[in-house]
Amino acid sequence: MKYTGTIYRPPIEANTLLLQVTVGCAHNKCSYCTMYKDVRFSTKSLEQIEKDLQEASEVYGDLRRIFLINGDAFVLSANRLKPIAKLIIKYFPNMEIITMYAAIRNIMDKTDKELEELYNLRINDLWVGLETGHEETLKNMNKGFTLKDSYEQLERLNKAKIRHNGILMLGSSGKGKGIEAAIDTVKLINKTKPQLLGVTTLGFFDGSKITEDVKNKTFIPATELEVLEEEKKIIELIEVEDIPFYGSHPINATSITGLLPRDKEKMIKIIDDSIKNTDEKLLNGVTKRNSL
């Protein structure tokens, strides 16, 4: 298997085969992100992809799930994704789920018919970086799409039967806006019904625009207490049935996982206990985070 650049995948895909189809991120302009600043965006050739698949099939045998990397692999056109999916099925005939990171703008680039075709080729599960349902925050993040786009494109995925896992970023609205952002974010979740939520926290890394904004005092970070209260409000308001909630990213203030609504009270108690047992100085400060 040939990999170029640093490889990123969701924590819960740790045991999933990773197949590289793109290098870096096609957008690479999000205000908080430095993950792909050291590599130019490019695509892998179909020949290299087939070599990797042949090697993987010899090593792993039968597989049912595969994750396409890197940053926004769904940026590939449907005409590029379809032959990749056919190769995957060729080497793994029992493959059930082809998944990858996707941005809302990637969905916009595909027609309804193309989404249906991709679904039929087992591209039926996407990790979508929603980050927030708070319009002002989304604009400041410079992700290349609007909140209106999020609602419309996720509904198109639902119509095509392509499941999506929503990625959220706590603290992204800054000081004093976490509860407002949580309420708006849950409106998006309850309306579009992701099959799973993966929750991370905003960090400030050298080279990102938002880090410069903090230095210039044009962005005031949320405190750790505000981040926990935002997460608690999201958990309280979610109405989607049987949705796994993974707030276990190592960058988070506390680790929380569960199935909503079944585990709602247990998860809220974890947050309350974390607030109760954490030093007040730490709660009212901003912790340095070492990974995205």
> Which has the minimum average pLDDT: 27-36, 114-123, 188-197, 281-290?
281-290
Provide CATH 3.30.750.210 ranges for the chain. 1-123
Q: Which percentage of the chain shows pLDDT scores above 90?
A: 93
Is the separation of the CB atoms in 127 and 99 below 8 Å?
yes
Q: For the residues 121-148, what does the mean pLDDT come to?
A: 97
Q: For the residues 84-104, what does the mean pLDDT come to?
A: 98
**In whole angstroms, what separates CA 91 from the centre of its chain?**
27
Is the separation of the CB atoms in 147 and 130 below 8 Å?
no
**What was the pLDDT predicted at 292?**
61
The Cα–Cα gap between 116 and 32 comes to: 33
**What was the pLDDT predicted at 287?**
84
**What was the pLDDT predicted at 272?**
97
**Full-model pTM:** 0.94
Is the separation of the CB atoms in 141 and 202 below 8 Å?
no
Amino acid making up residue 156: R
CATH topology classification for 1-123: Transcription Regulator spoIIAA (3.30.750)
